[in-house]
Structure 1
Amino acid sequence: METVTPDPRRWWALAALVASMLTLGFDMTILNVALPTMAADLGATTGQQQWMADAYVVVFAALMLPAGLLGDRFGRRLMLITGLGIFLAGSLVGALAGDVNAVIVARAVMGVGAALVTPLSLSVLPTLFGPAERTKAVGITSAASALGLPLGPIIGGWLLNHFWWGSVFLINLPMAAIGITACVFLLPETKDPASPEVDTVSTALTATGLGALVYGIIEAPTRGWGDPLVLGMLGAAVLLIAALVVRERRVERPMLDMNLLAHRGFLFNTVAATLVTFILTGLLFVLPPYLQAVLGHDALGTGVRLLPMMGGLLVASRLAPKVVARFGARAAVSAGLVVLAFAGFLGSRTAVGSGYGFVALWLTITGLGFGLSLIPAMNGGLSALPRDRAGSGSGLLMTLRQVGGAIGIALLGSLLAGAFRDRLDVTGLPTEAADTAGESVVAAHLVAERAGSAQLAASANSAYVHGMGVVLLVCAIAALVSALLAAAFLPSTPEAEKPETPDMAAEQADARQ
């Protein structure tokens, strides 16, 4: 079993992980800013846009657990490099894609790569850093992942202003290449050959269960929640996920270790991190069309206008360790979620004539709440794991976070689509034009432009802002409920033991062997 020794290359190794996480962070939001442009160029409906975002996230979530185990068994560095290579290949396919379906396939391939990179980036941390340095290392890695969020749209926006939409995929190639080079030269190889083998049946159950769930949620606004296909998909999702849980409880060496969920610290920190991700991905899905279609900014302007969230996040990443040291992780996570709830309530008051200043205010508060809740929750969850389960444990944590993200895009995107369609005034339009206008705010603006109807454009803006308000209100309520759960259930440990206790125990166990 491995022991933590201060590796002299550990901060350089962290730089390799940062390069990898930055690549993925880029990709999460470059596409968000490109979606309105792609919707116009490829004729993508809101549902197809959700799939372009969700194909990546569903595959990502489904393969995260087996990816963590592959890293434990065959070497985390090897799997990190492999993951970045697959991600690079998917980006190339996306750049050359000619229609919506090709983009969705490319995003799915990129999801395979991201599934290998993310849990392994995190699982390497406990083997590189002792308890005293780990909070800082997790903070830096989380900040790197988050740094890509606003940088992605700025770079993506610039590319869209100068090149075709495929260039937003092309930018991943040098980023992934830098990540691969950094991993090859800076990252030591670590593994745990005693970890469980990858279970093909469990992996298939995870992928099909999540796929059916997300498909059902995305199709519901168009077909109706009572539609046989939607009900069938949601029913199948429940059965497949239940079958997965039953199988994993019976297997001698499970891939999805339910015993980890029995640990209160791991369970509730993971739940908190999942709910924060649910809120954030939903928010990042609904905001770019508002900035582009309603306020009329170009792609680059949209990316720049997402920066206040990064400002809030940077402040929170410096503040979070101090708040944890002074008041404990439970207080930090709960306070962060309350701040996130306040940002959501404030955002839900946005009107068509609010202007950007008001949006910048609640975006800054969102970043603050996001960083204050997510960083301590992630660190608390990882610190609760014994190091020999680092890969599969962090894989489980990240899987649940990505499931939260996929459901966030599907559920909140569907809520937005339904609210938009209900409020949009298409009186006097031919049936086909009315149906097209109802697909998305971008489509409604294109129809309004062709028909020369200022009234339709105004109605589209009003309907979209109403839908966005509904989504932000739901996010705020979810954050408030999460804050209450965190305050009630997150473990409260004595100051001196936060967050080192689980790892000190693991080190003592190592020493005894």
Structure 2
Amino acid sequence: MSTTTTHRGSWFALSALVLAMLTIGLDTTILNVALPEIATDLHMTSGQLQWTGSSYTLVLAALMIPAGGLGDRFGRKKLLIAALLLFGVASALCAVATTPALLIAGRCLLGAAAAFMMPLSLSVLPALFPDPAERARARTLQVTATAMGLPLGPILGGLLLSHFWWGSVFLVNLPLVALGAFAIARFVPESRSTVAHPVDLPGAALSAAGLTAVTYGFIQAGSHGWLSPDLWLPAAAGALLLAAFAGWQRRTSHPLIDLALFRSRTFNVGVLMATLSSFALFGLLYALPQYFQAVQGSSALATGLKLLPMLLGMTAGTRCAGRIARRTGDRPALTAGLLLAAAALAAGATTTVHTPYAVTALWTAALGTGVGMTLPLAMNSALGVLSTERAGSGSGLLQALRQAGGTIGIAILGTVLTSGYRGGVGVGHLPPRTAGAVRDSAASGVQIAHRSGSAALLDSTRGAFVHGMNDMLLTCSGIALVAALLALVLIPRHPRQDRAPAPRPRPTEASTADTGVQGPSGGALAPSSAPVHGRSGPV
């Protein structure tokens, strides 16, 4: 196969993989527009509804760190194809589920597959793109695809539900993952760590249990409040388990992750910027669909279409950031993007019940542009310090930190919105049970107001939700502003090499090294000493 053909195949494989990665972002948000129909069809309780959403997040958080390490050990391409196929099987299972238990089981499988797909899809890029500049472009496309799947979820979900039954929101994954699996099998060479170290089973168990407990605790905060033992007991247990995990990683001869990454300023700043910039996106996607539906009465399809300006803004922001960063470095682009996001969120915090959609479209487009400028650059910065030796485990660590930070951020933002809503809605004249339903959510309050014909309750519910949403958007704006100031302080003015130190070889490693990268048929493409796959080459 010629070099030109191989290069074209690499970009085709990336294109298919980008489409497959869209499914992860889609599955995070597409379910929200389908839940009312699913709940009615499967006769689900509120607890079952909560677990339908939370099970995906819990399994995803638990398995990302072990997934990256297993890819390094057994082969990234092999496990990535298996994860894509599992994602397709789990999607089909969710689509045909006839009971809540079967749907929740399918969501757990989706989370497990996504936990492997996210880090491994990034760790195979060195095998596809040996050139650092091309690899950076490929990483940007990967990260942007996953992020764009978040706002695309409600759009696609609303479109599907207007023509098909709720199972279609899961079946849409099948052609995407099938194309991705075929392209990876055909064009991506196998790669793994040059050191065939044993799997760190105690480390995998401690990291999975710790991340699960922390994530579960902060998910519970949205339902039970910040003072509830349902939050602090599992969160504290998770923190202890993660502390034990860190201690074990220092002692074991074959750690699951490379703790030297935390000595890299570039890695730490990249993780911090990626997590903080995600808060703006999380906040918008948490509140704005509820605003469109509960306050302005939009359908699921109309709600999705109203998020299009943000999607277009993200596309424009990604292109702008790349050009700015190539000319001036990452710091100006990251700072400008975060400042733009902060300004857009502050503008959004002035929303009223009767704000015209044109105004909302302007600030959501500006926010999308800001996020598009910051998130891919921050992720690229952190991933750029990883050695090919630990590309999988390093990518898994980065994604796990972002996932945990995002879960905590959603809990914080949700609590701010809920507190503002409950403090502003007037339920003093209602029976206790009805008052509790109104205080539970704006959607319930609007339904009760329509059934009872109470214009006063309708106005109170809508006004209280907008008040809580504005408080939350203002909080997001403050976080984005702090992130912009941190970018100015922490990111160096001039780019410099800042690679994480490679893990020191153990006495037994020399005899266990494999032959490096293998072709699709299993033949070796490069010896273990080649720069592309040795410890001397950065990812």
- Number of the residue aligned with 1:127: 127
Match of 1:208 in 2: 209
Deviation at 1:61, TM superposition (A): 2.2
Deviation of residue 257 (structure 1)?
Answer: 1.9
Using a 3 Å threshold, how does the CA distance of structure 1 residues 36 and 464 change in structure 2: closer, same or farther? Answer: farther
1:110, distance to aligned residue in structure 2 (A): 0.8
Render the CA deviation track for 1:297-321: whole Å, top value 9, x for unaligned. Answer: 1111111111111111111111112
The equivalent of 2:382 in structure 1 is 381
Partner of 1:354, secondary structure, is: coil
Paired residues of 1:131 and 1:499 also in contact (CA < 8 A): no
Structure 2 match to 1:493: 494
Q: In structure 2, what is the Cα distance between the partners aligned to 1:20 and 1:226? A: 40
- Mark the CA change 1:326 to 1:357 in structure 2 (over 3 Å): closer, same or farther: same
How far is the alpha carbon of 1:103 from its aligned partner? 4.2
Give yes or no for the alignment of 1:138 onto 2:139: yes
The answer to whether the 8 Å contact 2:92/2:170 transfers is: yes
| RMSD value, Cα | 3.0
Q: Name the counterpart of 1:91.
A: 91
| Match status 1:475 vs 2:483 | no
Paired residue secondary structure (1:238): helix
Match runs of 1:89-488 below 5 Å = 89-98=89-98, 102-129=102-129, 130-194=131-195, 196-220=197-221, 222-488=223-489
Counterpart amino acid of residue 276 in structure 2:
L
When normalised by structure 1's length, the TM-score is: 0.89
TM-score, normalisation: structure 2: 0.85
Give how far 1:63 is off.
1.0
Report if aligned partners of 2:222, 2:411 keep a CA contact under 8 Å in 1.
Answer: no
Q: 1:341 Cα deviation (Å)? A: 1.4
Cα distance change of structure 1 residues 349 and 402 upon mapping to structure 2, 3 Å threshold: same
C-alpha separation in 2, matches of 1:70 and 1:184: 18
Preserved contact between residue 192 and residue 388 of structure 1 (Cα < 8 Å): yes
Residue deviations 1:270-326 (CA, integer Å, cap 9, x gap): 111122223322321222111112111111111111111111111111111211112
> Contact conserved, 1:334 with 1:484, CA < 8 A, in 2?
yes
Deviations 1:32-79 (A, max 9, x none): 333465567778798876654443223212211111122222222211
| Closer, same or farther: CA 273–6 of 1 in aligned 2, 3 Å | farther
Q: In structure 2, do the counterparts of structure 1 residues 293 and 233 end up closer, same or farther at CA, with 3 Å as the change threshold? A: same
Give the corresponding residue for 2:68: 68
SS for the counterpart of 1:157 is helix
Task: Work out whether residues 345 and 473 of structure 1, in 8 Å CA contact, stay in contact via their aligned partners in 2.
Answer: yes
Corresponding position: 1:81 with 2:81: yes
The 2-side partners of 1:414 and 1:119 are apart by 30
Q: Residues 203 and 471 of structure 1: is their aligned pair in 2 closer, same or farther, counting only changes over 3 Å?
A: farther
Structure-2 change in CA distance of 1:196 and 1:437 (3 Å): farther
Which residue type is aligned with residue 125 of structure 2?
A: L
Alignment-mate amino acid for residue 392 of structure 1: S
How many Å separate the matches in 2 of 1:499 and 1:335?
A: 23
Tell which deviates more after alignment, 317-326 or 406-415: 406-415
Residue 424 of structure 1 and its aligned partner are, at CA, apart by 1.9
Partner of residue 58, structure 2: 58
Distance 2:148 2:230 in 1: 39
CA contact (8 A) 1:40 1:443 kept: no
Q: For 1:98 and 1:348, how far apart are their aligned partners in 2? A: 42
Change (3 A) 1:363 1:52: farther
Query: Secondary structure of the equivalent of 2:192?
Result: coil
CA gap of 1:509–1:304, structure 2 versus 1, over 3 A, is closer
Query: Which residues in structure 2 correspond to 1:4-15 (within 5 Å)?
Result: 7=7, 9-15=9-15
Conservation of the 8 A alpha-carbon contact between 1:279 and 1:408: no
Q: Which amino acid aligns with 1:456?
A: L
Identity of aligned residues (%): 46
Report the Cα offset of residue 414 of structure 1: 3.0
Q: Work out the CA distance in 2 between the residues paired with 1:91 and 1:320.
A: 34
Q: Using the alignment, how far apart are the partners of 1:39 and 1:361 within structure 2?
A: 34
| CA deviation profile, 1:170-206 (whole Å, cap 9, x unmatched) | 2222322222222222322222252654433333333
Distance apart, 1:512 and its partner CA: 8.2
Distance 1:103 1:415 in 2: 30
1:148 & 1:476 partners in 2: Cα distance?
22
Structure 1: tracts of 5 or more residues without a match: none
Cα offset for 1:489? 1.4
Contact 2:387 2:500 in 1 (8 A): no
Structure 1 pair 229–15 and aligned structure 2 pair: CA distance change class (3 A): closer
Alpha-carbon spacing, 1:403–1:230, altered in 2? closer, same or farther (3 Å): closer
Asked which structure has the greater CA Rg, the reply is: 2
Distance 1:483 1:50, change over 3 A: farther
Conservation of the 8 A alpha-carbon contact between 1:196 and 1:253: yes
Q: Which residue of 1 aligns with 2:509?
A: none
Equivalent pair of 2:55/2:107 in contact (CA under 8 Å): yes
What amino acid does structure 1 have at the position aligned with 2:419?
G
User: Which deviates further from its counterpart, 295-304 or 126-135?
Assistant: 126-135
Larger deviation, residues 281-290 vs 163-172: 163-172
Deviation per residue, 1:407-438 (Å, 9 max, x gap): 23333223323332222222332222221222
**Paired AA for residue 493 in structure 1:** H
What's the CA shift string for 1:339-358, capped at 9, x where partnerless?
12112211111111112122
Residue 256 of structure 1 deviates from its aligned partner by: 2.6
Instruction: Give the Å deviation of 1:222.
Output: 4.6
Q: Which amino acid aligns with 1:13?
A: A
Corresponding residue for residue 30 of structure 1: 30
